[in-house]
């Protein structure tokens, strides 16, 4: 199937994009598009309908990277391939490059963008979970100026974000992890290149006050596991991961944040992927 009839607009600047959004209505009637790797297939399948598409993929400002104090600003238009190839700086000790290299296929990584993944807000996508584990902060531009929002509150539901009508995600602010930071990113797919069935992202950096275990593809939004994360902050060691106390906390976190029964296949898969991610991070 092909997308229904629509009007295509190409914006050259952020100002032009916002003017088009105000004119055409970047809400029910219009959509911003960067790489189009998610939006176009959904339009073809009639899962998304819009009268106007505003292409922001050519806006140079959305591919900027720069240091803002001790945080790196990574523009929303940066592609997965740019991260994978090291064409932008990775402040997370190789974590970003590892995540990017495992997204779908190279053809998708060449076009797909970090901002597109976050704004699309598919709970099975990589960047929403991976960047949530980094305590990343979204930078948003609207008619009233710019604002910042932690990713913990950016995705508010299934393919739903806190972006107001006409707002554009400019990029994300990322912490520079210390040399002693440890991380792991694990995911389970039924076949290579598809969206994950389960994602486990773990980032531990006591020097930055970061201790996160985040489960993706299990609920409407990435799920930070509070008890597991607290154990990481308290100095959990690899030998404890197989112990009954840790497994009990892990099961409690998953049961509290997902709809799966503890005896189900899905529950077991999510439990296993988090356990693997925690174990790998602690062994580094």
pLDDT in tens, 210-220: 999 999 999 99
Q: What is the mean pLDDT of residues 162-182?
A: 95
Mean per-residue pLDDT for 74-103? 97
Nearest-10 Cα torsion for 27, 80, 217, 164: -20
CB atoms < 10 A from the CB of 24, how many? 19
Mean pLDDT of 39-52: 77
**Domains and their CATH numbers in the chain:** 7-55 (3.30.43.10), 60-175 (3.30.465.10), 182-283 (3.30.390.50)
With bands split at pLDDT 50, 70 and 90, how would you rate the model's confidence at 25?
A: low
Does residue 114 carry a pLDDT above 60? yes
Residue 182 CA to residue 21 CA, distance in Å, equals 42
Q: Are 83 and 174 in contact (CB under 8 A)?
A: no
* pLDDT higher than threshold 70 for residue 27: no
pLDDT-based confidence at residue 191 (cuts at 50, 70, 90): confident
Strand-pair partners of 169: 140
Q: What is the pLDDT of residues 155-171, one digit of tens each?
A: 999 999 999 988 999 99
Task: Please tell me the least confidently modeled range out of 7-11, 26-30, 60-64, 195-199.
Answer: 26-30
Query: What digits encode the pLDDT tens for the residues 222-273?
Result: 999 999 999 999 999 999 999 999 999 999 999 999 999 999 999 999 999 9
Determine what percent of the chain is predicted with pLDDT higher than 90: 78
3-state secondary structure at position 97: helix
Round the average pLDDT of the chain to a whole number and report it.
93
Provide mean pLDDT across the span 101-108. Answer: 95
Q: Whole-angstrom Cα distance, residue 35 to residue 115?
A: 9
Q: What is residue 29's predicted lDDT score, i.e. its pLDDT?
A: 61
CA 126 to chain CA mean position, Å: 5
């Amino acid at each position: 199937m092909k997308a229904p009839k629509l009007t295509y607009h190409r914006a050259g600047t952020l100002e032009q994009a916002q003017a088009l959004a105000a004119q055409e209505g970047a809400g029910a009637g219009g959509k911003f598009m960067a790489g189009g790797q998610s939006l176009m297939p959904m339009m073809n399948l009639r899962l998304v309908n819009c009268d106007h598409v505003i292409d922001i993929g050519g806006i140079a400002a959305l591919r900027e990277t720069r240091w803002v104090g001790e945080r790196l600003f990574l523009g929303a238009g940066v592609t997965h391939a740019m991260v994978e190839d090291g064409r932008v700086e990775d402040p997370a000790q190789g974590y970003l490059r590892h995540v990017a290299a495992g997204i779908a296929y190279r053809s998708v990584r060449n076009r797909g963008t970090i901002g597109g993944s976050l704004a699309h807000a598919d709970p099975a996508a990589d960047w929403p979970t991976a960047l949530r584990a980094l305590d990343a902060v979204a930078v948003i531009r609207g008619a009233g100026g710019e604002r910042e929002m932690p990713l913990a509150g950016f995705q508010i539901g299934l393919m739903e974000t806190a972006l107001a009508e006409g707002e554009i995600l400019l990029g994300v602010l990322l912490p520079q992890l210390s040399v002693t930071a440890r991380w792991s990113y694990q995911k389970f797919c039924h076949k290579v290149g598809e969206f994950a069935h389960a994602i486990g992202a773990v980032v531990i950096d006591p020097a930055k006050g970061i201790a996160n275990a985040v489960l993706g593809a299990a609920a409407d939004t990435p799920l930070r596991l509070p008890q597991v994360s607290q154990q990481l902050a308290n100095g959990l060691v690899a030998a404890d991961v197989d112990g009954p106390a840790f497994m009990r906390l892990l099961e409690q976190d998953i049961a509290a944040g997902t709809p799966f029964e503890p005896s189900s296949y899905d529950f077991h898969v999510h439990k296993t992927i988090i356990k693997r991610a925690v174990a790998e991070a602690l062994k580094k």
